[in-house]
Structure 1
């Protein structure tokens, strides 16, 4: 399963590429609802605008090893990007930063955001988990 990573957009939101959340948070056909997509798009846009970094989200299956696949997806982005890669079906989450974005987002900040996201995911709320994670990452990075 593959998907394109596009800055400031939720990617791989095709029905066949999105895994169902643990409690059906995703629409019945396996895709995000229009409302969920709007929330995600707003969170990505605001995070990018506030920080000057380029936030991207990938939701879909990651090939094993999942970290290497997330890093390969990141290679399509710029050095000032932040990629949040989530594979609900594999219970996998990776936050990848580039040389420029890493200066503003240390590993500890990313780990705290990941912890908050996993908590929401564990409660079956994929959308809110991603939104909370993006907010925490943007807050940690600070404004331009």
Structure 2
């Protein structure tokens, strides 16, 4: 996996804070390899957040894995269909080499779907 720059990490953190503020949910991003199967690993990461309004975006670029995991309160405002559409859009951006752009757009789109 190509490392992201400090500026890109800052941009992602800013996008997470903006998504939190816009939606009232708690967003988190994990960028890196899974330990085991991607979905189960993402679910464990989400559970570790300990917040039923959390939304975790897991991305392993090397394995081409993308998972969006929502807690019960987040799921009430973000349907599986919403998450699938955002994931498809993110994957398209990722395939063009836009990892950070895809994450930022995905965060924005999810927050917009869940807007208060």
With the shorter chain as reference, the TM-score category is: over 0.9
The 3-state SS of whatever aligns with 1:89 is: coil
The answer on whether the counterparts of 2:24 and 2:115 sit within 8 Å (CA) in structure 1 is no
1:26-65 matches, cutoff 5 A: 31-65=3-37
1:18-33 matches, cutoff 5 A: 19-20=1-2, 31-33=3-5
CA root-mean-square deviation: 0.8
Tell me how far 1:90 sits from its aligned partner: 0.6
Post-superposition, which runs of at least 4 consecutive aligned residues in structure 1 deviate over 4 A?
A: none
- Separation (CA, whole Å) in 2 of partners of 1:105 and 1:118: 18
Aligned residues: 115
Of 66, 74, 77 in structure 1, the residue corresponding to residue 38 of structure 2 is: 66
Q: What is the TM-score of this pair, normalised by structure 1? A: 0.78
Of 88, 104, 108 in structure 2, the residue corresponding to residue 135 of structure 1 is: 108
Structure number having the greater helix percentage: 2
Q: What is the TM-score of this pair, normalised by structure 2? A: 0.96
Tell me how far 1:63 sits from its aligned partner: 2.2
The answer on whether the counterparts of 2:83 and 2:110 sit within 8 Å (CA) in structure 1 is yes
Once the two structures are superposed, what CA deviation does each residue of 1:69-113 show, in whole Å capped at 9, x if it has no partner? Answer: 100111111100000000001100000000110000000100011
